[in-house]
Structure 1
Amino acid sequence: MKRKTIYLIRHGETDHNRNGIVQGSGVDTTLNEWGKAQAEAFYDAYQHVPFDKIYTSKLQRTVQSVQNFIDSGIPWESHAGLNEISWGCREGRMPNDKDQGYYRELIVAWQNGDVDMPCEEGESPAQVRLRQKPVMDLILSRPQERTILIAMHGRAMRILLTLLFDEPLTAMDKYEHSNLCLYRINYSYDEQKFAFVSGNDITHLLSLDVPYN
């Protein structure tokens, strides 16, 4: 049986993550020291895996999360289709009650089926999935890449998982995630379907000291 194994991770922590600031695709933040430690821990745990290719978004926090693998010589591509959702005009702002209320109402609307509703001056989940599909079609068109590593973002990862498992976008919030978590997925070329192996795995981070109180 011809199969592809996908290691799908969310990027490591940034200062915006720590401070509760929405990043989205319009804020190109870097990993903080804890995020870099997470990336090192992930590399230490999975450097033995024979990855044939690495895929990241165009945003540097995903690239930094897998930089050790790239530096080891594994081929790498970045695709804007893997970028985080655009959260629109509220990206990069310090948390406040008005913005947080807006996001809560928006996510409830998505959960209730209005997945074509975009963030103000941003994207909708349906638009994100539309740009993700060509990237996944490209990845699946390369069966010679039997084991791959994809680094992306929280909301975009939830959307992608509904695409892979042919689920409605209203199901996206069932996929939990944390910084530098791992989802493992297999794809069968014979059956043309994905199989879930594990999700939101952070066992590779358990040896790290708590970064802050």
Structure 2
Amino acid sequence: MSIKKVYLIRHGQTDYNLQSIVQGSGVDSVLNAEGQRQADLFFDKYKDVAFDRVYTSTLQRSIQSVQGFLDLGLPHEQHAGLNEINWGTREGTRITPEEDAYYHGILQTWSEGNTGICIEGGESPQLVYERQKPFIELMLSRPEEETILVCMHGRAMRILLCQLLRYPLRCMDEFRHQNLCLYRLDYTGSMFAVKKYCDVAHLQQPAEDIKQK
């Protein structure tokens, strides 16, 4: 079996990201100008990769982040299983340690291994883990797709990485993320290996481009 290459990215910046406002599966925000710039830079770097298919969540910020590839006519599928975790009553609110000790307490609870506990009105990491399984099964059932691009969301991406790399869910925060960061994974038929970890080199604008502006 040939190696399956998975390019896994988080969506570009939104105004919610910029303002430290929680956005989960219930907030269908769009990219801001910086997020669009990030998407353009990623496209410029990877537009020549022969992707067999593009997978996204059903949320706009995810789809907009790979629009350049979709404009090339690449096959595209949306999967709700890739949507961000539902943050319940915290969605659309600005979170700081001082303003919401409960939110940060839940994150601590999850890191201690209690990943089946739902945030108030929302999901638990375990629920997200379970809804991601059908996507993983589908992805692995298509050996003809040797190179794929997957765009999703921060917390959900951490959970997916735990699942693909066989880490306990309590370790999900070990996987750092930034807007439009890249994880490159290779699948050999039995296991995934990380080739790029939270890579953002593509977001560094070449010096010659800066001089021209």
TM range (shorter): over 0.9
| Structure 1 residue 95: Cα displacement | 3.6
1:3-152 equivalences in 2 (<5 Å): 3-95=3-95, 100-152=100-152
Question: How high is the sequence identity, in percent, across the aligned residues?
Answer: 53
Q: 2 CA distance for matches of 1:27 and 1:49?
A: 31
Measured against aligned partners, the alpha-carbon deviations of 1:93-134 in whole angstroms (never above 9, x if no partner) come to 234656531221001100111100101010000000000011
Amino acid at match of 2:191: K
Q: Does 1:201 align with 2:211?
A: no
Letter in 2 for 1:164: L
Q: In structure 2, how many angstroms separate the alpha carbons of the residues matched to 1:15 and 1:168?
A: 32
In 2, distance between residues paired with 1:156 and 1:37?
A: 23
State the alpha-carbon separation in 2 of the partners of residues 139 and 97 from structure 1.
Answer: 38
Alpha-carbon contact 2:62-2:152 (below 8 Å) kept = yes
CA–CA distance in structure 1, aligned partners of residues 173 and 95 of structure 2:
21
Any conservation in 2 of the 1:10–1:152 contact (CA below 8 Å)? yes
The normalised TM-score by structure 2 is 0.94
Q: Distance in 2 between matches of 1:165 and 1:148?
A: 17
Deviations along 1:114-169, whole A, 9 cap, x unmatched?
Answer: 10010101000000000001101001100000000000000000000000011110
Does the CA-based 8 Å contact 2:97-2:104 persist in structure 1? no
**2: CA distance, partners of 1:121 / 1:58:** 21
2:64 alignment partner, SS class: helix
Instruction: Work out whether residues 85 and 155 of structure 1, in 8 Å CA contact, stay in contact via their aligned partners in 2.
Output: yes
Superposed CA offset, 1:8-27 (max 9, x none): 00000000000000001000
Tell me if structure 2 keeps the 8 A contact 1:79–1:135.
yes
TM-score by length of 1: 0.94
SS at match of 2:179: coil
State the partner residue of 2:177.
Answer: 177
In structure 2, stretches of 5+ residues that fail to align are none
- CA separation in 1, counterparts of 2:2 and 2:193? 13
User: How far does the alpha carbon of each residue in 1:145-197 deviate from its partner, in whole angstroms, 9 at most, with x for none?
Assistant: 000000000000000000001111011000000000000000112xx111111
- Match of 1:89, SS state, is helix
**For 1:142 and 1:94, how far apart are their aligned partners in 2?**
41
Q: How many Å separate the matches in 2 of 1:91 and 1:101?
A: 15
User: CA separation in 1, counterparts of 2:99 and 2:80?
Assistant: 26
Cα distance in 1 for partners of 2:140, 2:100 equals 38
CA–CA distance in 2 between the matches of 1:96 and 1:137?
37
**Could you tell me whether the CA contact under 8 Å between 1:90 and 1:99 is conserved in 2?**
no
